[in-house]
Amino acid sequence: MTGRIAQFNAPAPDLPAGWRPNWNLSPGNRILILRKTDSRLECTEVLWNLTPGWLRDLSRAPFSAQAEFLHDKPMFREPLVQRRCLIPVDGFYVWQPQGQRKQPWYLRRENGGLALAALWDRYALDDGTYWDSCALITAPAKGLPARLGERMPVTLNRAEQAIWLASATAPGALQPLLLNADSQVQLMYPVNPAVSSPATQGPHCCNPIGHAVRLDSPAAAE
């Protein structure tokens, strides 16, 4: 599973003030999302850790949610129906166990970015202020991510993105959409283990240190 993404190319022309590229973004930090607001696609920055308004122990705020159980858990049930969004990323990291250590891999498309399915929510304070937050959604791994582990972020193609964001989409169609979506990852390669520390930043985080594995490659990741 991934708990780290790269978000360094602007996904929309109108970005929140103060946004900065991040090549090694971890939960608990600010992250860009795309969501529908008054039928308009909005790009905004939120906290990456879902904090619904009723949550009192913020240390329990999750950064991810399993697609199989979204309807079953109160934390995700209402956002699934009312507050869906996308997390635009350039790529994401997965750590593959190798004996006593874990090797980080960077996964992406050959060209362009990926859109991760996510949920957002709002935490309102007594003084009238609030903050918004999100959690990405995971599913059983397919395609290239399945060579590294059992789960993956749900990556949606353009048609699936439109269905996911549309307010008219029937709630009963959402879970099948997530579970049936194919991985959009086309390329992955090992990167420097230094990215295991969120303090490691810069374009070099995404540089390969070994052979790349492409979608049409029959060889499993070593």
Window from 39-43, 74-78, 125-129 with minimum mean pLDDT: 125-129
The tally of domains found in the chain comes to: 1
Is 45 part of a structural domain of the chain? yes
Is 33 part of a structural domain of the chain? yes
Instruction: Count Cα neighbours of 70 within 13 Å in the Cβ-side half-sphere.
Output: 30
Is 220 part of a structural domain of the chain? no
Contact 1, 138 (CB under 8 A): yes
SS3 per-residue string spanning 37-87: ECCEEEEEEEEECCCCCCCCCHHHCCCEEEHHHCCCCHHHHHHHHHCEEEE
Write the DSSP symbol of residue 163. Answer: H
Say if residue 2's pLDDT is above 80. Answer: no
Q: What is the CATH number of the domain that holds 189?
A: 3.90.1680.10
Task: Kindly report, residue by residue over 48-90, the tens digit of the pLDDT.
Answer: 999 888 888 878 889 999 999 999 998 999 999 999 999 999 9
What is the pTM assigned to this prediction? 0.94
Residue 129 CA, chain-centre distance (Å), reads 26
Q: How far apart are CA 177 and CA 186, in angstroms?
A: 20
Is 14 part of a structural domain of the chain? yes
Q: How far apart are CA 119 and CA 69, in angstroms?
A: 13
Full domain range(s) for residue 20: 5-214
